[in-house]
Every structure is written in C-alpha cells, then in structure tokens.
Amino acid sequence: MKLSPLAIFMLGLMALVIGVSYGVFQKWLPNMADKKAYDEWGQQLDTEGAKMNKAIERVELAQQTVKELSDKWQITVARRTPPASVAAGGINIAVNPYDLTVDSRTFRNNVQRAVNRQLKAGGVTVISGPQVPFPTDDPDTIMSSYYNYPNVPYPVVIFDLGQVTVSGTFEQISQNIRSWSNMPNYLAVADGLVITGTSPNMTGTYNLSVVGFVRGKKIAPSIQMAAGVPGGQPAAGTPGQPPAVPGARNPDER
C-alpha cells in the first residue's frame, strides 16, 4: 500500500516529536537537574570553604594574641617575680610545709630589705617606713595565709603596707614615689601622695602596696595530706598564671 505524501509527513512529524520528547525528558531535563544540583553543591562547598578560611584566620589570630600575651607575661615574670630560691633572696614553695614556714621568714626579711632599699630612692630621708608582715608558723595554713593559695589560682604575696612618710625637696619626693614602679622583683603601687611644707624642706606621705608573683611549678602537699589524715586536701599541683598580721622589723634591716 502506497502512503500518501501527507501520511509520510505526519509519520515523520510524529517520529520527530517522539525523538525530541525522548531527548528533552530523558536527557536534557535530567542533565539540567543534575547541573543545578552540582551548582548548588559547588556553592555550598565555596561557602564552607570560605568559613574554613575564616576559621583558620581566627585560629591564627587567637594564636598570635596568646603569644603576645605570653610574651608580655614573660616580661612581667622577668621583672616582677622574686627569685625561685631562698639563697637568691626569693622563695621556693616546693619544699615541705615545715621548711616553708622557716624559709618564709627568711623570705620576709629579704622583702623587707628590698622595700627599705627602695624607700631611699631619690635621696629622701625616711621618716616612717612600712613593716612587711611576718608569716604564720602553722605549716597547714602557710600557703593560704601568706601565699594566698588556693584562694587565688596561683601563689602570690600581697602586702598592703600602709602609709610611708619621707622628707626632702619636691624633686626628691617626686622621684621617690615614681621609683616604686621600677622596683625589681615586685609589683609596687604607691598612691595618694600628699606633700606638705615649703621647699627645700618638704614632707611627702603616700600609701604603699607590694605584690610578688611567686614562681614555681610544684607545691608541696599539706601536712594533713602528707600524714594521710582523712579529709586532708592536697596542695600539690601546678599554679595557674593574683592583710597579713604586722610584725616588728629587725633593727639591722633599715
């Protein structure tokens, strides 16, 4: 049977429609959907990658900040902490508490001598100087009462020494109070300066506090813990990286 040209055209058109429909629905549309999914995935990866870069930048910034703070603290350690041995004028808190009570008295006397030397800075005459408190003789409370540990996260001596009175010229008194900011091995704070009199014979009165950050990576256990007393709490550990009873000065320390 011979088909008419119209029939042949219609059959061809139907074949073309079927082929185009197959290509569109079976190939082109799925490929476009896959492309869209890949594009979205790529955008998510780019977003997460940007977050990762920012996270790395934050970590690097945090590390840099920690290093800067650590460097500043090391400067403080070098200038503002007593030596780590009694022989050098400082204190070693790693000894047993009985020895620590004895060593702490020697340490106290060395602190008094350091304060006395600083008092004369500027060439002033000392009228009334402070007394550095003596430590307790109780080995169980020496760390808490004198070194403020564990009341604060690290051992530190804090001496609120009260009023100091010196005499001299205005320049001498001014230099004297400024010199406390450079006191070796300790952080000294002098404030509340009041000057009376007329030049060149003037009197200066101010308040003085001295702080000493104690070096050491080990703290001896308390007597209770060392003796195995139930309930005794150890004081051993690594310190974290801040009134006492006044006592009389030794006559030879002035």
Number of helices (H) and strands (E), helices first, in the chain? Answer: 6, 4
DSSP annotation of 202: E
Cα 32 to Cα 40: distance, rounded to the nearest angstrom? 12
List the structure tokens of 40.
């979205």
Decide: helix, strand or coil at residue 155. Answer: coil
Do residues 235 and 149 touch, judged by C-beta distance below 8 A? Answer: yes
pLDDT in tens, 112-138: 999 999 999 999 999 999 999 999 999
Beta bridge partners of 158: 211
Report the pLDDT value the prediction gives residue 25, as an integer from 0 to 100: 62
The one-digit pLDDT tens for each residue of the chain (254 residues) are: 566 666 666 666 676 667 656 665 666 667 777 767 767 777 777 776 666 676 677 777 777 776 666 666 666 666 778 998 999 999 999 999 999 999 999 999 999 999 999 999 999 999 999 999 999 999 999 999 999 998 888 899 999 999 999 999 999 999 999 999 999 999 999 999 999 998 889 999 999 999 998 987 777 666 554 444 444 444 444 443 333 333 333 434 43
Q: What backbone torsions phi and psi does residue 74 show, to the nearest 5 degrees?
A: -65, -35
Domains of the chain: 97-253 (3.30.70.60)
Do residues 224 and 232 touch, judged by C-beta distance below 8 A? Answer: yes
